[in-house]
Amino acid sequence: MDCKLKILLSVTIYVVVSCGNFAFSQSPLGATGSWFMFFNQTRLHEKWSLHTEAQYRSFKYLNRIRYMLRTTIPLNKKVIEKNTLFLSFYDEVFIHFSSLPFDRNRLYAAIGYQAIPKSNVQLGYLAQTVNTTTKHYLQISFFYNLDLRKKVAG
């Protein structure tokens, strides 16, 4: 079997402030091979939680790291392209910078279909453990990759 491995390295920083009052930055590192796709992602969450108590309102500032390791394996083709059936797996761990560092773990497995080059649909199972409680989810996801880079006329 002739396996070639390409390493795709990009460092991207996103800052998002939402109604939930949190921000994050992420640094993805990906690799593709002749029969799989591998993705490694680390995010730093900076979160401001609003506490509303009878006497006063206050904000609590928290930091946590999210680490995800994901792989995608095509089933009916050598690479993921149009009309490809694939499996997708990931594990994501959330760690706080506090006395109780473990926050949660998400374990995911799905079967997906790449309908067109920029979109796919997945049917998956997610097991999420928060502290010592695990909840199980069945989810249907639709992904569409937007390319907002400026096109250069050639």
pLDDT, tens digit, 9 for 90 and up, residues 30-62: 565 556 677 888 888 777 766 666 556 677 777
With respect to residue 149, please indicate whether it lies within any of the assigned structural domains: no
Q: How many domains does the chain have?
A: 1
With respect to residue 153, please indicate whether it lies within any of the assigned structural domains: no
Domain span at residue 58 reads 6-144
Q: Which pLDDT band, with edges at 50, 70 and 90, does 11 fall under?
A: very low
What ranges in 20-115 are assigned the alpha helix state H?
none
With respect to residue 95, please indicate whether it lies within any of the assigned structural domains: yes
Q: Which pLDDT band, with edges at 50, 70 and 90, does 84 fall under?
A: very high
- What SS3 class is residue 114? strand
With respect to residue 123, please indicate whether it lies within any of the assigned structural domains: yes
Q: How far apart are CA 95 and CA 101, in angstroms?
A: 5
- 50 within 8 A of 57, measured Cβ to Cβ: yes
Mean local confidence (pLDDT), 108-129: 94
Task: Decide which of 115 and 7 is more confident.
Answer: 115
Mean local confidence (pLDDT), 118-129: 93
What mean pLDDT value characterizes the chain? Answer: 76
Tokens of 63: 């930091």
Tokens of 64: 């946590």
pTM of this prediction? 0.69
Q: How far apart are CA 95 and CA 62, in angstroms?
A: 11
With respect to residue 150, please indicate whether it lies within any of the assigned structural domains: no
Question: Which residues does 108 contact at the CB level (< 8 Å), separation at least 6?
Answer: 88, 89, 90, 91, 92, 124, 125, 126, 127
Considering the chain, what percentage of its residues have pLDDT values greater than 70? Answer: 68
Whole-number pLDDT of residue 20: 45
- 110 within 8 A of 137, measured Cβ to Cβ: no
Whole-number pLDDT of residue 103: 82
CA distances from 135 to 65, 127, 132, 142, 147 (A): 21, 6, 10, 22, 34
